């Protein structure tokens, strides 16, 4: 995979940050003991990489099995709602936040001098790997990070290869009619699964809206619905149950992918890739049999 210059720079910056961060340089006995995560995606990495007794709090979002792949690990960890008032009394020696969430709390905790790292939103699988290493180093568990990455790579290598000319065309439909374009991790997930993302042809850059009419007439072979069927009622998800999409079933495979697998650029995306890859091979062989 070819990284663009800015991406490579960002990746190097993240690695440098992880290496030179003071808490990462601590001796083994000095691993952070009161880790707080302020972000759903950071939750998963912290819960997978650090021992339970060293985690002081994760977000309340990780208690919902629809949101996260690690609800079991989060079950007995105290929760926070991303408010600085909740975090300060925990006296954390490492705070992990997202670059786009809980900005007020992050600014306050920085001012108060708590050690804090911020995680961006990965747009490639390489950036996912970099992020896992960053968090693994920060929590003082670099070997566990490498094991997690190695496991991802083994599973990726086991997937069947599909030649670019033989790929089925896929389109992602998120609640509210949004789809993911070329500049997104979801695009990399689709490509890694041996499918071709239709969204760039519809002029979608990173994340954009597509009218249902365009969804139907763009003739996708696989329509990937990001769905929470048992979630609370919302207009955003009612859209995914529109009769026009049900009518597409004669023309395309409707694949429902749980949001928790690809909400975050974490290890969960591998399961998303595997599921899509199975759907792709099934429909390719079904077509060959016609």
Stretch that binds other proteins, among 39-47, 75-83, 103-111, 232-240 (CB under 8 A): 232-240
CB of 145 to other proteins, least distance (A): 30
Choice from 13, 150, 154, 244 touching other proteins (CB under 8 A) = 244
Which runs of consecutive H residues, i.e. helices, occur in the chain? Answer: 5-20, 40-49, 71-74, 84-87, 103-111, 125-138, 142-157, 185-192, 212-217, 235-238, 243-247, 259-262, 268-289
209 near other proteins, rule: CB under 8 A: yes
229 near other proteins, rule: CB under 8 A: no
Choice from 128, 224, 239, 276 touching other proteins (CB under 8 A) = 239
CB of 243 to other proteins, least distance (A): 5
Instruction: Annotate 215-271 with three-state secondary structure.
Output: HHHCCCCEEEEEECCCCCCCHHHHHHHCHHHHHHHHCCEEEEEEHHHHCCCCCHHHH
- Between 103 and 209, name the residue whose CB sits nearer to other proteins: 209
Q: Rounded to whole angstroms, how far apart are CA atoms 150 and 289?
A: 37
Burial class (CB in 10 A: 0-12, 13-18, 19+), 148: buried
Binding map of other proteins across residues 119-158, x = CB under 8 A, - = no contact: ----------------------------------------
Interface positions with other proteins (CB under 8 A): 175-177, 208-209, 211-214, 216-219, 231-239, 241-244, 247-248, 250-251
């Amino acid at each position: 995979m070819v990284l663009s210059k800015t991406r490579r720079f960002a990746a190097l910056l993240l690695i440098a940050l992880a290496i030179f961060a003071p808490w990462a340089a601590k001796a083994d006995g000095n691993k952070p003991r009161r880790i707080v995560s302020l972000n759903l995606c950071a939750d998963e990495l912290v819960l997978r990489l650090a021992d339970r007794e060293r985690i002081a709090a994760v977000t309340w979002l990780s208690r919902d099995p629809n949101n996260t792949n690690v609800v079991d690990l989060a079950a007995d960890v105290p929760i926070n709602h991303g408010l600085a008032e909740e975090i300060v009394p925990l006296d954390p020696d490492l705070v992990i936040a997202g670059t786009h969430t809980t900005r007020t709390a992050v600014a306050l905790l920085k001012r108060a001098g708590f050690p804090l790292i911020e995680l961006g939103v990965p747009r490639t699988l390489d950036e996912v790997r970099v992020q896992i290493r960053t968090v693994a180093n920060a929590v003082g568990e670099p070997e566990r990070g490498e094991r997690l990455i190695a496991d991802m790579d083994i599973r990726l290598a086991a997937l069947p290869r599909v030649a670019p000319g033989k790929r089925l065309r896929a389109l992602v439909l998120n609640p509210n009619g949004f789809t993911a374009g070329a500049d997104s991790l979801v695009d990399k997930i689709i490509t890694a699964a041996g499918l071709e993302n239709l969204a760039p042809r519809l002029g979608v850059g990173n994340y954009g809206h597509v009218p249902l009419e365009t969804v139907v007439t763009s003739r996708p072979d696989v329509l990937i619905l990001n769905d929470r069927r048992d979630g609370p009622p919302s207009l955003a998800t009612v859209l995914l149950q529109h009769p026009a999409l049900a009518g597409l079933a004669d023309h395309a495979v409707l694949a429902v992918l749980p949001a928790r697998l690809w909400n975050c650029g974490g290890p969960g995306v591998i399961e998303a890739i595997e599921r899509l890859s199975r759907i792709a091979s099934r429909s390719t062989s079904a077509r060959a049999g016609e």
